[in-house]
């Protein structure tokens, strides 16, 4: 084996070790990112007419990522949903989605506190709904601010604030010219209006 | 109201208002306990119901996967062994992992150890002999716990060990006689109610 080949092998081995360490020991930011994407997946209603028990199980899976005292707030309104059981109960027994609802989290901006026990996340939740198979999907973007806390080494969502737009309802249901398949509404929210 | 939609994904389209509290539609579970159809479960029971259903899904996936694998590889004799030995281990593992008591029962038992719990017995007996499609799951308020009872339909795969006697006995009759001398679980057709999966989850 030539010296160059040995050198290349050593570099590859080192890269593999670094990748393995990154994969095996994720940092807080990556763990939070994974948790939030998992949460979005669990919030997605894959089929219309979801069975009540399946819905309850999905709600329970969502609850696994929430702290017991979680608060969900709509900024600018008095609406607060407090407590994990209340959130799970509402998800499981509230009015069901008419069709397919997809939730994606975008533009994640994660800030972990210096002590590593809490974090603040700004994100945009894109909620796409298709009430009937032949209807075009309607997508809405909701800026969110989330607070997370770490308990026994696990991250949990402790607070979610949905940021209201300053200018009231946007021009909803406008056909987005960039994508004529999707009725898309972007909710703008000035950063100074967030609460956290 | 619509802000909640972004947070809880349209599954709660009219968030902010909890669903109206359902009245027990069938109070017969254990004769005195409130019982509900899955769509009528009060919100305060939903977290425990969700955990119970999660455990049932885990058990069902694990058990069905092993049975399918064993049936295709080694035939019904091996599948009987899965049902007899591995099912118990899978059930215990899932119960331990999730802190929830789970199991299977039937009006026609193969294993007498799977007799219905008292809260489940009235439902099991009432539905005996019906088609699985005619039967719905039940949720029973057990005080500090919630019981969930989910019907198991007879699938094509099941009939290899639970089908008509003339088909099953030649293949695994001796094995069944040795393992389950009190077997009552033969004679099912596809679509019949074979039995139930049950779970008891603490309300916490």
More confident call, B28 vs A151: A151
- Residue B41: is it exposed, middle or buried by C-beta count within 10 angstroms (0-12/13-18/19+)? buried
Q: Does the beta-carbon distance from B38 to A81 stay under 8 Å?
A: no
Q: Is A12 inside a domain boundary?
A: no
| CATH code of A132's domain | 3.10.450.50
pLDDT computed for residue B31 by the predictor = 59
Residue-range definition of the domain harbouring residue A85: 26-193
pLDDT band at A166 (very low <50, low <70, confident <90, very high): low
Q: Please state, for a pLDDT cut of 90, what percent of chain A lies above it.
A: 52
Q: What is the DSSP letter of A55?
A: H
Question: What is the pLDDT averaged over residues A62-82?
Answer: 89
Q: Which residues of B touch A (CB under 8 A)?
A: 1-19, 37-39, 41-44, 46-47, 49-51, 53-54, 57, 137, 148, 150
Q: Give the C-alpha separation, A7 to A14, whole Å.
A: 11
pLDDT computed for residue A185 by the predictor = 44
Q: Is A104 inside a domain boundary?
A: yes
More confident call, B29 vs A122: A122
The count of structural domains within chain A is 1
Q: What is the DSSP letter of A67?
A: E
Q: Give the C-alpha separation, B50 to A53, whole Å.
A: 7
Q: Is A19 inside a domain boundary?
A: no
Give the closest of A57, A103, A160 to B54, CB-based: A57
pLDDT computed for residue A184 by the predictor = 43
Question: What is the pLDDT averaged over residues A120-137?
Answer: 89
Residue A56: how many other CB atoms lie within 10 Å: 30
Q: Is A7 inside a domain boundary?
A: no
Domain ranges (residues) in chain B: 42-202
Q: Could you read off the pLDDT of A97-111 as tens digits, one per residue?
A: 878 899 999 999 999
A169 token code pair? 């309802």
User: Cα dist. A4→A11, A18, A109 in Å?
Assistant: 11, 21, 42
What is the nearest CA distance from A1 to chain B, expressed in angstroms?
Answer: 46
The DSSP result for B23-40, as a single string, is: PPS-TTGGGTS-EE-GGG
pLDDT computed for residue B87 by the predictor = 79
Q: Could you read off the pLDDT of B2-32 as tens digits, one per residue?
A: 444 444 433 333 332 333 334 444 444 455 7
Interface of A with B in 8-27 (CB under 8 A): none
pLDDT computed for residue B23 by the predictor = 43
C-beta of residue A105 within 8 angstroms of C-beta of residue A123: yes
Give the closest of B6, B38, B41 to A142, CB-based: B6
The complex's ipTM? 0.76
pLDDT band at A46 (very low <50, low <70, confident <90, very high): confident
Q: Does the beta-carbon distance from A96 to B13 stay under 8 Å?
A: yes
Q: Is A21 inside a domain boundary?
A: no
User: Which residues are CB-neighbours of B104 under 8 A, at least 6 positions away?
Assistant: B87, B91, B114, B152, B195, B196, B197, B198
Interface of A with B in 146-175 (CB under 8 A): 160, 162, 164
pLDDT at A115 over 70: yes
Q: Between chain A and chain B, how many beta carbons pairs sit less than 8 Å apart?
A: 146
Picking from B5, B46, B135, B151 by the largest number of A CB atoms within 10 A of its own CB, the best residue to mutate is: B46
Q: What is the DSSP letter of B130?
A: -
Average pLDDT over chain A reads 82
pLDDT computed for residue A56 by the predictor = 95
Q: Does the beta-carbon distance from B4 to A160 stay under 8 Å?
A: no
pLDDT computed for residue B16 by the predictor = 29
pLDDT computed for residue B134 by the predictor = 95
Q: Is B102 helix (H, G, I), strand (E, B) or coil?
A: strand
Q: Are strands A183-186 and A138-151 parallel, antiparallel or unpaired?
A: parallel
Beta-bridge mates of residue A122: A109, A145
pLDDT computed for residue A170 by the predictor = 41
A146 token code pair? 């989330």
Q: Is A120 inside a domain boundary?
A: yes
User: Which residues are CB-neighbours of B35 under 8 A, at least 6 positions away?
Assistant: B24, B25, B26, B27, B28, B29, B123, B138, B139, B140, B141
Q: Give the C-alpha separation, B46 to A183, whole Å.
A: 34
Residues of chain B with pLDDT under 50: 1-29
Q: Is A167 inside a domain boundary?
A: yes
Q: Is A11 inside a domain boundary?
A: no
Cα-only R_g, chain A: 21
C-beta of residue A144 within 8 angstroms of C-beta of residue A163: yes
What is the nearest CA distance from A119 to chain B, expressed in angstroms?
Answer: 18
Q: Give the C-alpha separation, A129 to A103, whole Å.
A: 9
> Which chain B residues touch A91 with a CB distance below 8 Å?
8, 11-12, 46
């Amino acid at each position: 084996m030539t010296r160059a080949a040995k050198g290349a092998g050593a570099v590859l081995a080192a890269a593999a070790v670094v990748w393995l360490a990154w994969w095996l020991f994720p940092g807080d930011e990556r763990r939070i990112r994974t948790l939030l994407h998992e949460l979005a997946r669990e919030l997605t209603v894959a089929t219309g007419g979801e069975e009540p028990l399946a819905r309850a199980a999905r709600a329970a899976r969502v609850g696994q990522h929430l702290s017991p005292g979680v608060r969900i707030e709509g900024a600018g309104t008095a609406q607060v949903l407090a407590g994990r059981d209340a959130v799970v109960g509402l998800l499981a027994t509230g009015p069901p989605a008419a069709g397919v609802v997809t939730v994606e989290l975008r533009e994640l901006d994660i800030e972990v506190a210096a002590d590593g026990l809490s974090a603040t996340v700004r994100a945009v939740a894109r909620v796409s709904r298709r009430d009937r198979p032949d209807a075009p999907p309607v997508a809405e973007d909701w800026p969110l601010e989330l607070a997370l806390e770490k308990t026994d080494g696990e991250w949990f969502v402790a607070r979610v604030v949905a940021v209201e737009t300053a200018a009231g309802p946007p021009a909803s249901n406008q056909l987005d010219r960039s994508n004529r398949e999707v009725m898309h509404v972007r909710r703008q929210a000035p950063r100074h209006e967030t609460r956290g | 109201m619509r802000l909640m939609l972004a947070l809880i994904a349209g599954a709660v389209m009219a968030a902010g208002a909890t669903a109206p509290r359902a009245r027990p539609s069938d109070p017969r579970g254990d004769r005195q306990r409130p019982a509900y159809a899955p769509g009528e479960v009060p919100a305060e029971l939903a977290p425990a119901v969700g955990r119970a259903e999660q455990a049932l899904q885990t058990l069902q996936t694990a058990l069905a996967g092993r049975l399918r694998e064993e049936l295709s590889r080694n035939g019904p004799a091996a599948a009987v062994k899965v049902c007899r030995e591995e099912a118990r281990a899978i059930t215990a593992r899932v119960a331990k992992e999730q802190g929830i008591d789970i199991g299977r029962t039937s009006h026609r038992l193969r294993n007498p150890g799977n007799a219905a719990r008292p809260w489940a017995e009235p439902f099991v007996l009432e539905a005996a002999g019906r088609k699985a499609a005619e039967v719905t799951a039940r949720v029973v308020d057990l005080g500090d716990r919630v019981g969930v009872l989910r019907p198991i339909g007879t699938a094509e795969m099941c009939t290899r060990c639970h089908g008509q006697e003339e088909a099953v006995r030649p293949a695994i009759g001796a094995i069944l006689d040795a393992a389950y001398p009190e077997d009552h679980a033969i004679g099912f057709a596809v679509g019949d109610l074979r039995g139930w999966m049950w779970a008891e989850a603490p309300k916490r």
